[in-house]
Amino acid sequence: MSEVGGGRGNEDGPGREPGERRGWTERLLARVIGSEEAAEGILGDLREESRRRGVGPRSLRYRATVLGLVPRFALERLRRPGTSRAHPRRPLSRLARGHQSTVAALLHDLRVAVRSLARSPGFTAVATLTVALGIGATTATFSVVSGVLLRPLPYPDSDRLVRVHAAWEGNSVGDLSPGEHFDLLDRLQTFDAFGTYGYDSFTMIDNDGARQLPAAFVTAGVLQALEIEPMLGRPFGPGEDGPASTGVVVSHGFWQRELGADSAAVGREIPGQGVTLLGVLPPDFRLPEGVLGGPPVQMIAPLGLDRAQIESHGSHFLLGVGRLKAGVSVEEARADVARVGAWIYDNHAADYGGPMRFDALPLSEALLGDSRPALLLLLAAAVFVLLIACGNTANLLLTRADARRRDYALRAALGASRTRVVRQQFLESLVLGSLGGAAGLALAYAGTAGLVALDPPDIPRLDAVAVDGPVLLFALLASLVTGLLFGLLPAVQAAGRDAADSLREGGRAVQGGRGGERSRRLLVVGQTAFAVVLLSGAILFTRSFEELLDVDPGVDVANVLTARVDTPAARYPDDAEVRAVYGELETRLAARPGVVAAGAVVNLPLDRDLGDMGIELAGQPIPPGGDKPAADWQVVTPGWFDVMGPTLLAGRFLDARDGPEAPGAAVINETMAERFWPGDDALGARFLLGGGSRPGWVTVVGIVRDIRHDGLATPVKPQFFVPHRQFTFWNGGGPVRDMALVLRTDGAPAGFADDVRAVVREVDPRMAVSVVRTMEEIRSAALSRPRFLVSLLGAFGLVALAIAAVGIYGVVSYGVRRRTGEIGVRIALGAGRGRVTRLILGEGARLVGTGLLLGTVGAMLLARTVSGLLFGVSPGDPVTLVLVAVTLGAVALLATWIPTLRATRIDPTRALRAE
């Protein structure tokens, strides 16, 4: 009231001095009075009078006096509508010209909105809960997406880090070979640093016994590229990563546990390891793959590649990482890598089985790209839930708006402009949205904790998932947008409503306008459609998951226990000793009571992907410029076949005959037989292992059915098994030292973990046993991502179904209430129960049917975009469509049933009297 300045309009005539700015009570009164001249006179009188009495314009008393006049004028206008417009009404924008008064008016309207919501707690609770479900689901999912996908990798300028990889034609991403490492290192021009690395383990022995700890073997370029800054000491540099180098860096945890957090340990030998401690990593440090989760690497040691010994470029087992020079784009780097790659291929084509591509991609994409589609799918699903929730809330608001038509009409009569009514409506929606957002955030906290607790090993970086700043911002935005979204329709309805009409209708609360009815139906159709999309997504992925469960991995995973052991060169310098130890372990394990068979293998199926090896087929010379064949390789002891039970199609398994001195033998898979010896009997065929690996030439002694080694949904590649006792790595690298023991048991396999430890202790007390798992666990872990996807999509589908059901129920039962009179007349005229039932059910069916149709079309279109995530079912899977229709139909029937019952029980006399 004391705001000075800002003149009134000029409608009061020329030459007038501007009067004092009106306060909000005064403006309200002026509005109700309608005529500016009358308002000017009256407001002036009020000020003159209060001045006389010594009452200040800002006092409560003055305001009360002003407000006291409002009802009198409002009543007058209701009595004589349309006679008050001596002057055109001033538009709202001018009324609320000053910033302060806009805020004041908004605050006022906000108070009104809050009060009005507080008056109907039931409505508010239902609406809040619905919105909370939607926002909770969306926010929780977003927190995962944000934590996993959006957060940068924990390295300085991590956007300059790229993964460099090589891949055979047709494969997406492959590892690098030592030869390629040196060529790339020498020739790349757009990189500040480049290096390669691999993961392995080392054995730590102390008073507690022997343990195997995860380790990484890296070239100096990796440490440079990642800009690793040890907390103590220094990293190893170029020239310190060769075969003779012994300087390592260790994790903070290792330094604390094993070295007693002694700073003096730096520069000294690590006891029992034959290596020197150069530096200690900071506590949270992780190598790129460690960022995804899993136990952190305890030691980073030199990879020990020897430039002089590179014979072949064909053995790929190294991960490449590089740091781009500042200002170099990924595209430029890709061109650079491709250029060097072409040079490598041109100069070493003989080492490759086929055209080799070299490429680079951002490291974050390489690490996280796999989980992106699934996570984005989940986010989209959550947004759908939110939209359905919005639909319901909009419906609730529409119904409520109808019930308050007289209220709105009265406000309009009191001089509230449409804008004002619409604003009021919007404010209520925003308040509801915020309430829902707050409740949703609470749900999101719980939900995020739940998601992380589900801990799907295949969804990386779950430890980075938290409800944090970006997530809070997301929730806030979601609440606001949601509020606007579901407030839009009711507000438009309110704006379009004619006050006089509403009043003439006598304010019968249930009498909805035609427009309102249409909007409500439209909303239900939309909700149903979205629910159909979500539901079909959930069912589609469930079916895909079932297909995946049905996939025969090619091995028998039941009752198999696995454990990793290592025979480090430091303690087993003799190759024969390594082979003997595994033979001994196999024999002793198999002799334990309850153990049916025992064996050992390099890579467990469904656990780690197999690497491939270039080979040469006897009698099939490669034409100049032709492709050299390659196959996945696996090294096993004979017992492995007894344990894992692959199906023998021809010939025999590897067995005791295939000793170190015996001719080289191999078992191959069906795919390999068909690929390289199509139409021929592959049995007895011979091929040469690549890279100088021994036994060199091997003869195919058996063919087994395909084993889905790299994943249940991954296509099987040519694969061969060679005996552990015959195999040595290329370049005279010796036997495989790090193997997984496998044993088939006649009872629950997990119970045999102690047997494994006991046997290993018997054979060598200093040998460590690590990662003891059953094959079932490994299979389950391989299914974790689809399971995660399915459980979340299922949950979203159920929530969507529930919300949509409530929506359908609401609209149909509202329709029944609205048509009570009509139905009463029908019943009075002799319409039977069946007829009334058909009437109401038919109405529900029309809505649901339309939604179902639209949703099905949408679902089929959308399913195509996610077909890459599906396995064994087509996006347009008819079973899914039928299931969705049946489920939704059943739920819709249920939701329509109660209002239908109510309709058939309408008492005609009462219904008509109410009319």
Partner 1 sequence: MNKVSYLGELEHMLLWTVLRLGDEAYGLGVRDHLEEVAGRSVARGSVYVTLDRLVKKGYLESWLGDPDEQRAGRARRYFSVTAEGKAALRESRDALVSLWDGVEEAVEEA
Binding interface with partner 1 (CB under 8 A): 12-13, 16-20, 33, 35, 37-38, 40-45, 47-49, 51, 57, 65, 68-69, 71-73, 76, 80, 83
Nearer Cβ to partner 1 (83/347): 83
Nearer Cβ to partner 1 (13/593): 13
Q: How far is the CB of 17 from partner 1 (least distance, A)?
A: 4
Cis peptide leading into residue 288 (ω within 30°): no
Nearer Cβ to partner 1 (23/136): 23
CB 482 within 8 A of CB 134: yes
Q: How far is the CB of 103 from partner 1 (least distance, A)?
A: 22
Nearer Cβ to partner 1 (72/846): 72
Alpha-carbon gap, residue 25 to 3, rounded angstroms: 13
Residue 126 vs residues 133, 383, 395, 606, 712: alpha-carbon distances, Å: 11, 20, 12, 47, 44
Q: How far is the CB of 35 from partner 1 (least distance, A)?
A: 7
Residue 867 vs residues 369, 412, 716, 864, 875: alpha-carbon distances, Å: 16, 54, 20, 5, 6
Nearer Cβ to partner 1 (3/762): 3
CB 652 within 8 A of CB 616: no
Nearer Cβ to partner 1 (21/818): 21
Nearer Cβ to partner 1 (45/262): 45
Nearer Cβ to partner 1 (12/655): 12
Q: How far is the CB of 40 from partner 1 (least distance, A)?
A: 6
Contacts of 169 (CB under 8 A, 6+ apart): 354, 355, 356, 357
Q: How far is the CB of 96 from partner 1 (least distance, A)?
A: 20
Q: How far is the CB of 27 from partner 1 (least distance, A)?
A: 13
Contacts of 593 (CB under 8 A, 6+ apart): none
CB 666 within 8 A of CB 687: yes
Alpha-carbon gap, residue 590 to 744, rounded angstroms: 9
Nearer Cβ to partner 1 (79/99): 79
Alpha-carbon gap, residue 168 to 351, rounded angstroms: 12
The DSSP call for residue 330 is: H
Tokens representing 268? 């000294």
Residue type, 548: L
Q: How far is the CB of 41 from partner 1 (least distance, A)?
A: 2
Q: How far is the CB of 59 from partner 1 (least distance, A)?
A: 14
Q: How far is the CB of 830 from partner 1 (least distance, A)?
A: 51
The DSSP call for residue 278 is: E
Q: How far is the CB of 4 from partner 1 (least distance, A)?
A: 9
Nearer Cβ to partner 1 (18/91): 18
Nearer Cβ to partner 1 (79/115): 79
Alpha-carbon gap, residue 280 to 180, rounded angstroms: 30
CB 138 within 8 A of CB 299: no
Q: How far is the CB of 65 from partner 1 (least distance, A)?
A: 8
The DSSP call for residue 868 is: G
**Residue in the structure block whose two tokens are 């001018």:** 94
Whole-angstrom Cα Rg for the chain: 38
Residue 731 vs residues 141, 305, 517, 695: alpha-carbon distances, Å: 49, 11, 80, 12
Q: Which residues of 820-844 are buried (b: 16+ CB within 10 A; e: fewer)?
A: bbebbbbbeeebeeeebbebbbebb
Residue 615 CA from chain centroid, whole number? 40
Residue type, 836: V
